[in-house]
Structure 1
Amino acid sequence: MPPPPAARDRVLDAFERLLVDRGERAATLDAVAREAGVSKGGLIYHFPSREAMVEGLLDRLRARAAEDDELMRQAAEGVVSYFLRTSQGADTPFDRTLVAATRLRSHAAARETLAGVQGRWYDSVLAAVGDPTIAQMVMLMADGLYYNASAPDALASTGTHQYQADVDELVRLVAELVRLRAGDGVAGRDEVAG
């Protein structure tokens, strides 16, 4: 059995849960302390203010984004495949931190950090496909996959057609588009489809 997380991590985990489940207004210092199972004094020991807690969450997001970017760049299946597959709503620590940070959009630092994460993704995809328009297309595909995966109940209740994307086919089409744009007719770049 793994050891229980340190109090600082428990506080950040609790802050994330409250942001995701109930929104920013509900994530008060008192509520976070209760959710984390620590005293308010224990919370303040690690995060002397709410802004310090926000910065702690954003530090966590930056670290997890860097780890994810490294995984994406090293993925055997290729950058595009990894990026599109992980955009289908995986319930990972990185995803939870990312969603929690989106609830902090009233904070300039959160908006800046989220833009940095998106910029990191774009740079990795661009390096893989070698074309800014195709890279932007992949980014928009990922956004659509993420939205579709995160709102299936809402889409079903409105009668909107729900579908499961064939990521293999999307990756194949991106590789084909890379070949066409390059005008070489040779197999797509290794980073696209592994």
Structure 2
Amino acid sequence: MSQTRDRILDAFRDQVSDDGVASATLEAVARRAGVSKGGLLYHFGSKRALVDGLAERLRESTRRNVDRAEEGDPVRVFLETSTPDEAEARDYWAVFAAVRAGGQDVGADTRRAVAEVFEVWGRLLGEAIDDPVTADLVRLAGDGLYLSAVTGLPVPDRPRIDAVVRRLIDAADG
């Protein structure tokens, strides 16, 4: 992806995260990205294309994590990626906000991309952990950590998170 496209997506994400979906007009995003409206439209023809672009960025991130999980320990990778960095958390917040707001700015592909993230991890954990209840506990704990980070809610400090991860890995290992 080009630097300009990334800068525009970052500007869109930040506009939605800071001021809400309705504030993310093409003009506001172009201004924030430091490009002309024509430059923005060259890369993204609509607000819907911006939402789709951000969802695709998240889909790619998930693919990389799933590839890592399939090569090694899905439980460990899932839990390690359950505390995203700030940029990824803001990406998800913007996509979740857009999906929640609904309307013509959110297409079926974006809704599918969000659902796929949860579905793929549920499948991988279900395959990796013999007990389905333990698999659900691991997934729900990881999702809770992730959603806390995405929404800006408090999360435990790093040592506590590491202890939770160890406990869940031990439980998954039986």
Alignment TM-score, normalising by the size of structure 2: 0.78
Aligned to 2:76: 81
RMSD of aligned residue pairs (Cα, Å): 2.5
Residue by residue over 1:155-184, the C-alpha shift from the partner in whole angstroms, topping out at 9 and shown as x without a partner, is: xxxxxxx74463444344434444xxxxxx
Aligned to 1:65: 62
1:96-175 superposed matches below 5 A: 96-105=90-99, 106=102, 107=106, 109=108, 110-149=110-149, 150-152=152-154, 163-164=156-157, 166-175=160-169
Report SS of the residue matched to 1:103: helix
Q: Provide the aligned length of Structure 1 versus Structure 2.
A: 164
1:98 and 1:171 mapped to 2: Cα distance? Answer: 22
For 1:48, which of 33, 45, 49 is the aligned residue? 45
Deviation at 1:82, TM superposition (A): 2.8
Mark the CA change 1:62 to 1:169 in structure 2 (over 3 Å): closer, same or farther: same
> More helix per residue: 1 or 2?
2
Mark the CA change 1:11 to 1:170 in structure 2 (over 3 Å): closer, same or farther: same
Residue by residue over 1:127-147, the C-alpha shift from the partner in whole angstroms, topping out at 9 and shown as x without a partner, is: 221333222111111133235
Mark the CA change 1:166 to 1:79 in structure 2 (over 3 Å): closer, same or farther: farther
Aligned to 2:85: 90
1:88 and 1:60 mapped to 2: Cα distance? Answer: 17
Residue by residue over 1:72-123, the C-alpha shift from the partner in whole angstroms, topping out at 9 and shown as x without a partner, is: 3345xx33233223323432x4433222211111135333221111111212
Deviation at 1:9, TM superposition (A): 1.9
Regions of 4+ moved over 4 Å: none
2:153 and 2:32 mapped to 1: Cα distance? Answer: 26
Aligned residues: percent identity? 38
2:66 and 2:40 mapped to 1: Cα distance? Answer: 31
Cα pair 1:72 1:83 within 8 Å, conserved: yes
Cα pair 2:52 2:107 within 8 Å, conserved: no
1:128 and 1:174 mapped to 2: Cα distance? Answer: 13
Unaligned runs of at least 5 residues, structure 1: 153-161, 179-187, 190-194
Cα pair 1:79 1:128 within 8 Å, conserved: yes
Cα pair 1:81 1:167 within 8 Å, conserved: no
Alignment TM-score, normalising by the size of structure 1: 0.71
